[in-house]
A and B are shown apart, each in its own frame.
Chain A
Amino acid sequence: MALDDIYKEVILDHYKNPRNKREVAGAELTCSKNNPLCGDEITVFVHEEDGKLAEVGFLGQGCSISQSSASMMTEAVLGATREEAEGLIGRIRGMMAGEVEPDEDTFGELVALKGVVKYPVRIKCAVLPWDVLQEALEGKGEAEGIATH
């Protein structure tokens, strides 16, 4: 059954019981972003300590794929250095582009997202939180638009 490829148990679990879904008090790095195509929103909060991502949280709303991906991400990058986090972001993007074959050792639960690759329109959902984290690490805030009076 094809749907099992995308709606794996681990994805549904993180969707129904999201981890670290909270604002992190004292976060030095935050970034908000939405997917203009579908309206999914993710805000990521990072508190750094001793050169490591000591606390990572997210807030947002959206589909099971974007929200579970965010939840898994907060666990996966906890305790990582910036370089390690950016390395993982690159590997996740590579996996979602079909260029990196994931292995359990480095990807852990995140392997579950690989099934999304078969659903091209949903890849953006899976990648969205990782894009937000990348921009948070780069110190970017929110996207700008038109303001009228």
Chain B
Amino acid sequence: MAVTERRSAGLDVARLRADFPILERTINGRPLVYLDSAATSQKPRQVIDAEADFYANHNANAHRGLYQLAEEATELYEAARAKLARFIGAPAPETIVFTRGTTESTNLVAYAWARRFLSEGDEILLTDMEHHSNIVPWQLAARDTGATLRYLPLTDDGLLDLTDLGSLLTERTKLLAVTGMSNSLGTLPPLRQLTEAAHAVGALALVDGAQLVPHVPVDVTALDVDFLTISGHKMLGPTASGGLYGKAEHLEAMDAFLGGGHMIEEVFHDHSTWNAVPYKFEAGTMNIAQEVGLGAAIDYLDALGMDAVRAHEEEITAYAIDRLTEAGARVFGPTDTAIRGGAVSFWYRDVHPHDLATILNEEGVAIRAGHHCNQLVMRRYGVPATARASFYVYNTNDEVDALVQALAKAGDVFDG
């Protein structure tokens, strides 16, 4: 297997693992093998320290006080926004709204954009590989506006089936909402092609970046997306960090989202006026320390280089697919790592994924088992659930080997 001998382009995994305190842990007397980064990534010391340093040395509310600490807090918070903007190729920090993550970002657009601009006869085009968080907010918006949902189907290989794109994406379509990377199949849809097709019929394009942004170099300007949702905790950052990128013209035109402090310009008895973008969408005290932590995560990823991150994940994903297939597992989604990321769903022999996860845990191996908030995908491929191993910068081929060895043990329990 040539794949196993290839070296990552520039990622010193052994060295960077030392930055992640949790990787020292043992589970059931064995070293932790953490293969669930698609659910949430582990955090390097640099991120943990940045969040702690904020509380220890700079804590104050951002955009409120007129004293030095408040200025420091505001500067750190806004510096994180600038880092995130640059990280995804956004033209200006003001195009980034801080949110709790992708779910809140999608809901923000579903409330402040869809409910304002959609009405009966309008359509939203989704795909059958969307996470529930990129389906349910649109169902709720459709219910409230009278708009209709359409779905792009999937091929047997786990790709978007674009055969009927022309009849599904029409002048009635006002929004195409598509994942940047499937969290169960790993598929990387052709985003540039889809964005162009959406714009050609006058629709906007929203990309669910939960799995994309942590793993693949992203340039929203080159992709020409209208909205990109970003999860901080899946890219080495703290939980409840993240954001929404939106083109300035859309953010300006949209309604407010949550009402509260700081999102207003002036408040009267019967109405209020809104603060400038992006503050119009940031009501109440935000997750300041968490976004500062996200800034540190971005520094960390920048230092590694996103090209190197992607190359490492292509290598380990190829190795994992080979090893799992050899071991008799059915792997879902594309096998070509050029068009997929490192979330690898599989079914091992006849062992139900929940049983597999329990048995693997005895060996210290943490995988996800279930429908991964992808019930449409599960239905499409005729399974109630899958097991999923997902990889990030700190994972090694040795950990893939530990997974495969633990699978054999599961086989023994059920066949023995």
Does B bind A? yes
Q: Which of A2, A3, A63, A119 contacts B352 (CB 8 A)?
A: A63
Provide the bound-state CA to CA distance between A89 and B384, in Å: 26
Q: How far is the CA of A39 from the CA of B149 in the complex (A)?
A: 24
Which of B139-147, B212-220, B237-245, B279-287 participates in binding chain A?
B139-147
A residues 93-143 near B (Cβ < 8 Å) are: 119, 122, 125
Q: Is the CB of A62 within 8 A of B354?
A: yes
Asked if A48 lies at the interface with its beta carbon under 8 angstroms from chain B, I say no
Say yes or no: A39-B352 contact (C-beta < 8 A), given A3-B413, A122-B358, A146-B139: no
Count of B interface residues, CB-CB < 8 Å: 24
- Contact between chains at A6 and B370 (CB < 8 Å): no
Q: Which residues of B contact A149 (CB under 8 A)?
A: 142, 148
Query: Is the CB of A38 closer than 8 A to any CB of chain B?
Result: yes
Query: Which one of A2, A125, A146, A148 contacts B354 once the chains associate, using CB atoms below 8 Å?
Result: A125
Q: Are B143 and A62 within 8 A (Cβ)?
A: no
| B-chain residues with CB within 8 Å of residue A40 when the two chains form the complex | 354, 384-385
Q: How far, in angstroms, from A122 to B362 measured CA to CA in the complex?
A: 14
In the complex with contacts A40-B384, A62-B384, A148-B139 CB distance below 8 A? yes
Q: Interface readout for B393-407 with A: 1 if CB under 8 Å, 0 if not?
A: 000000000000000
Residue of B nearest to A60 (CB): B384
CA distance A66 to B338 in the complex (A): 39
Q: Are B136 and A146 in contact (CB under 8 A)?
A: yes
What sequence of 0s and 1s flags, for each residue 293-325 of chain B, a beta carbon within 8 Å of any chain A beta carbon?
000000000000000000000000000000000
Q: Which residues of B contact A2 (CB under 8 A)?
A: 28, 362
CA distance A7 to B359 in the complex (A): 10
Question: B230 to chain A: closest CB distance in Å?
Answer: 26
**Inside 8 A of B353's CB, which chain A residues have their CB?**
63
Distance (whole angstroms) from the CB of A19 to the closest CB of chain B: 18
B414 at the interface (CB under 8 A from A): yes
Closest B residue to A149 using CB positions: B148
Contact B385 A38 (CB under 8 A): yes
Decide if the interface of chain B is mainly helix, strand, loop or mixed: helix
Chain A residues within 8 Å of B378, by CB: 39
B162 CB to nearest chain A CB (Å)? 24
Interface residues of B in 331-366 (CB under 8 A from A): 352-355, 358-359, 362
User: In chain A, residues 1-41, which have Cβ atoms closer than 8 Å to a Cβ of chain B?
Assistant: 2-3, 6-7, 12, 37-41
Q: Is B170 an interface residue (CB 8 A)?
A: no
B352 touches A41 (CB 8 A): no
- B371 in the interface (beta carbon within 8 A): yes
B-chain residues with CB within 8 Å of residue A119 when the two chains form the complex: 358
Which residues in B have their C-beta under 8 angstroms from that of A122?
A: 354, 358
Closest to B369 in A: A38
With contacts A62-B352, A148-B139, A148-B149 known, is A39 near B359, CB below 8 A? Answer: no
Q: Are B354 and A3 in contact (CB under 8 A)?
A: no
**Which residue of chain B lies nearest to A12 when distances are taken between CB atoms in the complex?**
B414
Chain A min CB distance to B44 (Å): 27
B375 interfacial by beta-carbon distance below 8 Å: yes
Contact (Cβ within 8 A) B358 A41: no
Neighbouring A residues of B385 by C-beta, 8 Å: 38-40
Q: CB of A81 within 8 A of chain B? A: no
Interface membership of A65, Cβ < 8 A = yes
A38–B362 contact, CB under 8 A? no
The residue of chain B having its C-beta at the shortest distance from the C-beta of A64 within the complex is: B355
Indicate if the CB atoms of A7 and B413 lie closer than 8 Å: yes
Other 17 A-B pairs with CB < 8 A, given A63-B353, A122-B358: A3-B362, A3-B413, A12-B414, A38-B354, A38-B369, A39-B370, A41-B384, A63-B352, A63-B354, A64-B352, A64-B414, A65-B355, A119-B358, A146-B139, A146-B140, A148-B139, A148-B148
4 A-B pairs with the lowest CB-CB distances in the bound complex, closest first: A63-B354, A63-B352, A39-B371, A38-B370
14 contacts across the A-B interface (CB closer than 8 A): A3-B358, A3-B359, A3-B362, A38-B354, A38-B370, A39-B375, A39-B384, A40-B384, A62-B352, A63-B353, A122-B354, A122-B358, A148-B149, A149-B148
